[in-house]
Chains A and B, each alone.
Chain A
Amino acid sequence: MSAIPANTGPAGAGTEIPEGDELVRIEHVTKHFPVRSGGLIRRTLGQVHAVDDVSLVIPQGKTLGLVGETGSGKSTLARCVAGLIPVTSGRVIFNGRDITNLSRGAMRPLRRDVQMIFQDPYSSLNPRRRVGAIIGDPFAIHKIASGGERKRQVQELMERVGLNPEHYNRFPAEFSGGQRQRIGVARALALRPKLIICDEPVSALDVSIQAQVLNLLSDLQKDYGLTYLFIAHDLEVVRHVSDSVAVMYLGRIDEAGPKTDVYGSPRHPYTAALLSAAPAADPDTAASRQRIILTGDVPSPILPPSGCRFHPRCPKARPLCAQQEPQLEAKAGDAATHVTACHFPVVAGEDLAGAGRSDVA
């Protein structure tokens, strides 16, 4: 079952990318990390349910935005898709091929197609190596170009992402945060990948630089037909870049669908709460809308709540929510592409902020 069927309607109409096939299909991917005791005999005490039964589809040439708060499993999911950590169960299918838990050797040719941009532009660049060597690494690792040819290609890439090619011999420390993230983009772009996983690529940058990097990413998408899995916790950033959106909470997808549907009529109370918490630029809008204030903290992923994982904090929770796990499906009146995992989805105009919560605990 896929959260987002292949033929998701184009939300960002105007892009010239033709309606393509699916590039990535994530099927029931689960990732648990064992919690071990210290000491000589390391008993396994429990499992961190970082990602639990997540299914998603990313169409060719599109951007899937993945939002969720810290600890919701977004980055873990990204690393599973990139093949950096093995999945506990489930399948990752890339371009029609099952790439789940491939060995490093078998994964190697695929690295050319799947690249990653990292969150922290400071720790993602080796401080002891020159920019030319960092961006040239993909060419060296895959033995594509060497010597003067590599240098020429690296400088082309630098120019493409808006860096001065003459800075080829500089060290990362000599660049600003935004420039460093451009170096990361150039490195990811070097092998002309099909999919780039952006793991919060702009959350460490200040707002004016964020816009530059986001625009660069969307220009590159147009030029090279890239597909993005775009992870962020900033809803406005995701709205800006995504064609479709998936909301994660405690390792599960709560709601997914085309951007306009999810932002326009959020069905899951968590999505609605997230949207109401995003700051609005217009003071009139900000004053008129009602903020849904969630109580409590995100529960521990070692012992996730029964039933719906959001029920301990949900303003609409009923006894059923604690007993039965809601399935991800299209709710009444929604398009088949817009799916929600909630027993009692939010309807338009509902006042969640004042919703009476019948005690379920």
Chain B
Amino acid sequence: MTAITLTPRPTWSRFFLDRSEIVGPLFIAPAILYVVLLVGLPFLLALYYSVSAYTIFNPSLAFVGLKNFRDIIASEIFRRTLVNTLVFTISAQIIGLLLGKIGAMLLMQEFRGRGIARALVVLPWAVPVSLATLAWLWMFDSLYSVINWTLIALGLVDGANRPQWLGREDLAMIAVVVVHAWRLFPFGVVIFLAGFTSVPKDVLDAATVDGAGFWRRNYQIILPIIAPIVLIALIFGTVFTFTDLSVVYLLTKGGPINSTQVLGTYAFQVGILSGDVAHGAAICLFLFPFLLIAVILLLRSLRRREI
């Protein structure tokens, strides 16, 4: 009897909030709505822009088919941009991963000051990218570059003929690759560290007892175990590098003579600075097939883990 009187009177809100089949979708709806409205729809808009004649001077949205794509493929600057983007991504990624692996192997050991060393190594990745890049801009200064000062002091370069890091085509590419690898490698370090600590100690001990040496332990035992994690790091790192705009924009703005122009900076230049949104969107879309591959790889690695 008392149990019945204790039950609160059902109200409308009560009726809804009690049902998980209603509350569940209700809880997730805002997130889906946000993503659909501000990621999904803009993406479709980008697709349409790329086949339209839309510029900020002529917002007509007239359909022009694949003309924009033909235009940019025919453009010398775009082809150079595409090559630059690949060179930039692959070299920064290789350097970043290598340094990441070396860093993780070092930081895995027990030594005094390890905590501080790890905190300092993580800095390039933690600090806002635009601010960190400014420090490099100053270090690459045409006259007061500390890098040049050191090279001159060591007698490696001639003081009268100091390298113009951001002013020469070949050096500028090296500079943006180094800065991006610098920014990326701490991510590699922490991912590899997480991977290494997940390798069971007894497996390693057993292998050592069975006579496996350093390289064999490394490549036949540790690497296969940490491969899924490394793959995720690789996917994220590559996506972040391939689509980067900030580092190149702040250091060189794509110059000198488009020698460091990458897809991101070129799309920004065409789509925003020149106002030719249609061609800008077409340039951006060259990122898409590549992103699709990344997504498929990521999905596979996530699925494999579940099984």
User: Are both chains from one complex?
Assistant: no
- A-side interface residues toward B, CB under 8 Å? none
